[in-house]
Amino acid sequence: MKRRLFRDRLKKGLKNPGFKRAFEAEDLPARLALRIAELRQKEGLSQADLAKRLGAKQQLIARIESLDHTNMTLSTLQKIAWALHRRLVVDLR
């Protein structure tokens, strides 16, 4: 029931152009953060382990996963993909 209520509110909110722009601006970084955390956990890695593979500090991974670092470059995303034994796919639709 709660999920349906959220979807209904979101659908209504997306009719507002300002809300829609704000939602879309946060959607991709949020999905990336969740996916990175999911794949890191599937690999059995801590944030510190992933950071070590990147030659970075654990705080970077924590910031990425908590949406405090939403300006990732393609280079950073590529390094994360390699560190997680994945490949980065970028597409424009």
Q: What is the pLDDT of residue 1?
A: 54
Instruction: State the average pLDDT over residues 47-73.
Output: 92
Question: What Å distances lie between residue 47 and 20, 42, 63, CA to CA?
Answer: 32, 12, 10
Scan for tokens 């999905």, then name that residue. Answer: 31
pTM of the model: 0.78
pLDDT tens per residue across span 71-87: 889 999 999 999 999 99
Q: What is the pLDDT of residue 10?
A: 86
Q: Where would I find the H helices in the chain?
A: 2-13, 17-42, 47-54, 58-65, 74-83
pLDDT tens per residue across span 1-43: 577 888 888 899 999 999 998 888 888 888 999 999 999 999 9
Q: What is the CA radius of gyration of the chain?
A: 16
- Ordered structural domains, the chain, with CATH: 2-83 (1.10.260.40)
**Rounded (10°) angle between helices 47-54 and 17-42:** 90
